[in-house]
Structure 1
Amino acid sequence: MSTDRLVGGAADDEERAVEAALRPTSLDEFIGQDRVRDQLGLVLDAARARGKTADHVLLSGGPGLGKTTLAMIIAGEMGAPLRLTSGPAITHAGDLAAILSSLNEGEVLFLDEIHRLARPAEEMLYMAMEDFRVDVVVGKGPGATAIPLELPPFTLVGATTRAGLLPAPLRDRFGFTAHMDLYEPAELELVLRRSAGLLKVDLRPDGASTVARRSRGTPRIANRLLRRVRDFAEVRGTGVVTGPVASAALEIYEVDELGLDRLDRGVLTALVKLFGGGPVGLSTLAVAVGEEPETVEVVAEPFLVRAGLLARTPRGRIATPAAWHHLGLVPPAPAPVAVALARQDVPLPLDAADDGA
């Protein structure tokens, strides 16, 4: 799967190190997600007033929206240490027991990708979250003994990009659940101005607007594009990031006006030019663009669907009129029979032989 996309939401270790310098350290500094920020502020204020640890918090949303940043802010606002780990890193219940038993009172445990937690560890987490206790099994077979281990009160902050994969018993044990939405361009402009100040980049308003519009509603992508635009401005310009400079830089990096990159445009172009706009199955579409089906489905499709450029139907993928217009093409007129059926609210028959459900 492609992991090096300039407009991808994932981040490697090097980028996370850069992000650390740009992260806000308090809720007052955090930009966007107003509803989540206000609700979370009430939860933390109430916990501090009672002198108790904060309720467990579940944060869901796409990558790069600030879930890790909010976990760090929660720890900072509560004046507590933060322990970071992830679901894939905990392969056995013993791994989780070791982490939980080493926590201090009030400590915040951030569990990223919690939906990928191993089932035995997940079941141990139920008791730890609710009763602050775990049962450590010693021995094997009929002679195995469960030793109860008391835990100090702690706050678990779980983060997931796929909330639907969380089992209900785990989700119900969180005292506060929040979903983080994509950012509006105006909010991303504020993020960019703050980051530009920290990076000492001369970012003009039209430059911020240009970068924000191409950032796919994600602060991580906005900051990444800002650094690439800064490089262009310093090497081929005067160091000032204006609208034209940002546009020229992002054209080199193949990020267009909507934030689409080579893979996104390749999917749309194949769908429109090779298959007349669809419907076409996922496997066939992936072969046409030279990618694995999982790459097309997981990496490219989510944003194309949100942008209204692609639709997923029982018969396969279809390009919307907006996709045709974005590629500078005229969408074909609907077939007369299809129009008549649509007006009568009669569903079109599905092609069971298609591979694109």
Structure 2
Amino acid sequence: MHDDDLDDAPATAAADEAPLSAVAQHGEREVETALRPRTLADFVGQPRVREQLQLVLESARRRGVPPDHVLLSGPPGLGKTSLAMIVASELDRAIRITSGPALEKAGDLAAMLSNLAEGDVLFIDEIHRIARPAEEMLYLAMEDFRVDVVVGKGPGATSIPLEIPPFTLVGATTRSGALTGPLRDRFGFTGQMEFYSSGELEQVLARSAAILDIALDAEGRAEVARRSRGTPRIANRLLRRVRDYAEVRADGRATLPVVRAALEVYDVDELGLDRLDRAVLGALVRSFGGGPVGVSTLAVAVGEEPGTVEEVCEPYLVRAGMLARTPRGRVATGLAWEHLGLGPPAEPGGVDVTSASLFD
């Protein structure tokens, strides 16, 4: 099954209920807003993207013009929205925020563009999902800072050019391959977001704990970082769950034993796998002998949608070296058998991967 063929809604709905999903959950945006850095100097991680973006913004400031349009791509939860807000803050300009699915008609985009002031930042999240009529209008707006508004219908329709002030578009996408070539080519700068190291996540957690007034010691911070899948959003979510546990069942201090006990309650194991991850691996190993098996069959075995297994579970399991995607189907690696406390079969169907996890 190709990623583009998946229906986003079921996967997203299921992801909202998963503690280790990188997709923002319901009601989480408000908390994230309080934790977002305000400047590039405060932004932790992504050193290459930060350096490149700093040069783009500083050069534009010195020339007194809006910077080139910016495209940020990468998995969810890595800070694309935060960087978009930082761009506006660094330029001391207002930011207008929308998303690709919200721009269904060209008129929706025209209304938003007409309300921009000179130098404003327009942020479009999930820009790969923008409707084609709006995307075609965006081409002209990005290049010539004008849009053509069609008035009337049929033979009597008239196209009226509407000048818009120079602005900077910041687009974010989790699927850069889904962007059309003409749209991608109109961005002057593209930043590819990478997963965070444990050390970088510890810095994120130290800052978040200070803002939220959570007593998290260094050992506890390292433990949360190690189980956060290289994603700041997940690290901050686990931090809040650790806080809940510490306040109710401990003395309010999140020490290493308290962190471990809290994450055990929330089904997050020592490698950062949750209940659904272990269910997928367990079904693959115990029910299908390690594979190969198709994702639809595997999803039925764990009682989930195929899109949830493919988009929520598999990316991390593949990165952690526990699952391999092959032309014949999904295959459990040696690490998966080892993590489940089982020995691989005499003739395993999987790939024998015995190296450590990426985040050890």
Report the TM-score range of the alignment, normalised by the length of the smaller protein: over 0.9
Contact preservation (8 Å) 2:290, 2:348: no
Alignment of 1:9-28 (within 5 A): 9-28=22-41
2:54 to 31, 37, 41: 41
Are 1:90 and 2:103 matched, yes or no?
yes
Cα offset, 1:243, TM superposition? 1.3
Q: Which amino acid aligns with 2:102?
A: A
Q: Which residue of 2 aligns with 1:52?
A: 65
Query: Quick one: distance in 2 between partners of 1:33 and 1:228?
Result: 26
Q: What TM-score, normalized to structure 2?
A: 0.92
Cα offset, 1:328, TM superposition? 1.0
Cα offset, 1:82, TM superposition? 0.5
Q: Which residue of 1 aligns with 2:260?
A: 247
Alignment of 1:47-86 (within 5 A): 47-86=60-99
Name the SS for the 1:14 alignment partner: coil
Are 1:184 and 2:182 matched, yes or no?
no
Name the SS for the 2:41 alignment partner: coil
Query: Quick one: distance in 2 between partners of 1:214 and 1:151?
Result: 47
1:214 to 211, 222, 227: 227
Distance of aligned partners of 1:12 and 1:284 in 2 relative to their CA distance in 1, 3 Å threshold = closer
Q: Which amino acid aligns with 1:278?
A: G
Query: Quick one: distance in 2 between partners of 1:12 and 1:88?
Result: 18
Q: Which residue of 1 aligns with 2:5?
A: none
Deviations 1:191-232 (A, max 9, x none): 000001111111111100100011010001000100100111
Q: Which amino acid aligns with 1:122?
A: E
Query: Quick one: distance in 1 between partners of 2:255 and 2:228?
Result: 16
Are 1:296 and 2:291 matched, yes or no?
no
Q: Which residue of 2 aligns with 1:143?
A: 156
Contact preservation (8 Å) 2:149, 2:162: yes
Q: Which residue of 2 aligns with 1:121?
A: 134
Alignment of 1:306-321 (within 5 A): 306-321=319-334
Q: Which amino acid aligns with 1:334?
A: E
Q: Which residue of 2 aligns with 1:103?
A: 116
Name the SS for the 2:111 alignment partner: helix
Cα offset, 1:335, TM superposition? 6.8
Deviations 1:59-97 (A, max 9, x none): 001111000000000000001001000001111000001
Distance of aligned partners of 1:335 and 1:165 in 2 relative to their CA distance in 1, 3 Å threshold = closer
Percentage of identical aligned residues: 69
Contact preservation (8 Å) 2:285, 2:291: yes
1:275 to 284, 288, 300: 288
Name the SS for the 2:67 alignment partner: coil
Name the SS for the 1:193 alignment partner: helix
Q: Which amino acid aligns with 2:231?
A: T
Deviations 1:116-150 (A, max 9, x none): 00000000000100110110011111111111111
> Structure 2: which 5+ residue stretches go unaligned?
1-9, 352-360
Query: Quick one: distance in 1 between partners of 2:344 and 2:142?
Result: 54
Contact preservation (8 Å) 2:49, 2:192: yes
Comparing 327-336 with 121-130, which one deviates more in the overlay?
327-336
Deviations 1:161-196 (A, max 9, x none): 000000011001001001101100110000000001
Cα offset, 1:291, TM superposition? 1.1
Deviations 1:234-263 (A, max 9, x none): 111111111111110000000111111111
Cα offset, 1:287, TM superposition? 1.0
Query: Quick one: distance in 2 between partners of 1:246 and 1:26?
Result: 30
Cα offset, 1:109, TM superposition? 0.3
Q: Which amino acid aligns with 1:306?
A: R
Query: Quick one: distance in 1 between partners of 2:287 and 2:296?
Result: 14
Query: Quick one: distance in 1 between partners of 2:348 and 2:55?
Result: 55
Query: Quick one: distance in 1 between partners of 2:39 and 2:218?
Result: 25
Q: Which residue of 1 aligns with 2:240?
A: 227
Show structure 1 runs of 4+ deviating over 3 A. 333-336
Query: Quick one: distance in 2 between partners of 1:123 and 1:64?
Result: 29
Cα offset, 1:332, TM superposition? 2.1
Superposed CA RMSD in Å reads: 1.5
| Structure whose CA Rg is larger | 1
Q: Which amino acid aligns with 1:274?
A: S
Query: Quick one: distance in 2 between partners of 1:264 and 1:332?
Result: 21
Cα offset, 1:114, TM superposition? 0.2
Q: Which amino acid aligns with 1:76?
A: S
Query: How many residues in Structure 1 have an aligned counterpart in Structure 2?
Result: 339
Name the SS for the 2:191 alignment partner: strand
Query: Quick one: distance in 2 between partners of 1:134 and 1:21?
Result: 36
Comparing 34-43 with 304-313, which one deviates more in the overlay?
304-313
Q: What TM-score, normalized to structure 1?
A: 0.93
Q: Which residue of 1 aligns with 2:186?
A: 173
Name the SS for the 2:118 alignment partner: coil
> Structure 1: which 5+ residue stretches go unaligned?
340-357
Q: Which amino acid aligns with 1:253?
A: Y
Comparing 61-70 with 296-305, which one deviates more in the overlay?
296-305
Distance of aligned partners of 1:316 and 1:178 in 2 relative to their CA distance in 1, 3 Å threshold = same
